[in-house]
């Protein structure tokens, strides 16, 4: 999965970048870059997971003024440290170890861009999809603790805004800030093949960024980001339930725009 997603991001960039750079489509922006962050996941009184995630992203934007449309895909993954336990009472034992983890994000956004002199304000909404896969077989102890594959799927409605303005005389450097609230209207979890349905929740993200336009055809962008998710209990199924949980993920992105 990791190799396929990485290859798909690179292939998408190589196919679309010439169209953007050559001006074949008016208002087309192609942004491609790398991402690295720190991921933290909590289930109260049960377990926690922490560790780095790294990967890349591809954003395709279209700007028929004053409207704005964007398709965004990202993939990050890496080993994270599981910290939990098993058993009850006097027989409770700590359980720690590294587990493989990856996250895929897909987003389709549309919005309106308002320009007032040098100030630009973008208001947007759309539809988002987030998929997380965490392999807890990595911490299994044969004959004592069984592991399983956990798959989390979120469908959510992003509502956000972005403000940006030039900070250099020639307008080549731009500083901006993007904020967003995410309403997760439906989600589900597969744990060892058992579907735990009807999860709901919310999240938010904050992203300051700095952009440098080298010329009319190419720019570079540095982002710092932070995101948070708070998810409710799932419905029960076969005596199992996905408990209430929270996660946060923060880090940086470095990209090139054509």
Could you tell me the CATH number of the domain that includes residue 55? Answer: 2.40.128.100
Q: What percent of the chain has pLDDT over 70?
A: 90
Q: Give residue 184's pLDDT.
A: 96
Q: Which of 157, 160, 158, 152 is nearest to 232 (CA)?
A: 152
Q: Is a pLDDT exceeding 80 seen at residue 20?
A: no
Query: Which of 9-13, 21-25, 88-92, 208-212 tops mean pLDDT?
Result: 208-212
Neighbouring residues of 22: CB distance < 8 A, sequence distance ≥ 6: none
Band (pLDDT 50/70/90 cuts) for residue 224 is very high
Q: Which of 122, 104, 124 is nearest to 113 (CA)?
A: 122
Q: Which of 187, 193, 182 is nearest to 159 (CA)?
A: 182
Q: Does residue 140 contact residue 186 with C-beta atoms inside 8 Å?
A: no
Distance CA 59, CA 31 (A): 5
Q: Which helix (H) or strand (E) holds 9?
A: helix 2-21
pTM, entire model: 0.88
Distance CA 87, CA 182 (A): 36
3-state secondary structure 98-109: EEEEEEEEEEEE
Distance CA 240, CA 191 (A): 9
Q: Is a pLDDT exceeding 90 seen at residue 49?
A: yes
Domains held by the chain: number: 1
Distance CA 20, CA 27 (A): 8
Q: pLDDT (tens digit, 9 = 90+) per residue, 103-146?
A: 999 999 999 999 988 899 999 999 999 999 999 999 887 777 78
* Domain hosting residue 113, numbered range: 2-257
Q: Give residue 147's pLDDT.
A: 81
């Amino acid at each position: 999965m990791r190799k396929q997603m990485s290859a798909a991001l690179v292939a998408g960039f190589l196919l679309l970048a010439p169209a953007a750079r050559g001006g074949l489509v008016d208002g087309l922006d192609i942004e491609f870059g790398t991402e690295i962050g720190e991921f933290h996941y909590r289930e109260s009184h049960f377990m926690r997971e922490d560790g780095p995630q790294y990967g890349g992203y591809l954003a395709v934007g279209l700007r028929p003024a004053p409207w704005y449309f964007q398709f965004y895909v990202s993939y990050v993954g890496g080993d994270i440290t599981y910290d939990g336990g098993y058993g009850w009472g006097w027989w409770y034992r700590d359980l720690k170890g590294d587990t493989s983890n990856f996250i895929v994000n897909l987003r389709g956004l549309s919005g309106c861009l308002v320009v007032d002199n040098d100030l630009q304000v973008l208001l947007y909404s759309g539809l988002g999809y987030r998929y997380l896969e965490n392999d807890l077989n990595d911490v299994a102890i044969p004959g004592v603790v069984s592991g399983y594959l956990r798959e989390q799927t979120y469908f959510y409605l992003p509502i956000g805004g972005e403000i940006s303005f030039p900070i250099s005389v020639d307008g080549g450097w731009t500083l901006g800030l993007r904020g967003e609230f995410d309403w997760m209207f439906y989600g589900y979890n597969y744990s060892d093949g058992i579907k735990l349905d009807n999860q709901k929740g919310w999240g938010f993200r904050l992203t300051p960024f700095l952009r440098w336009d080298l010329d009319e055809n190419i720019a570079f962008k540095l982002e710092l980001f932070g995101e948070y998710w708070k998810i409710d209990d799932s419905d029960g199924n076969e005596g199992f339930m996905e408990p209430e949980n929270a996660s946060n993920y923060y880090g940086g992105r470095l990209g090139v725009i054509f």
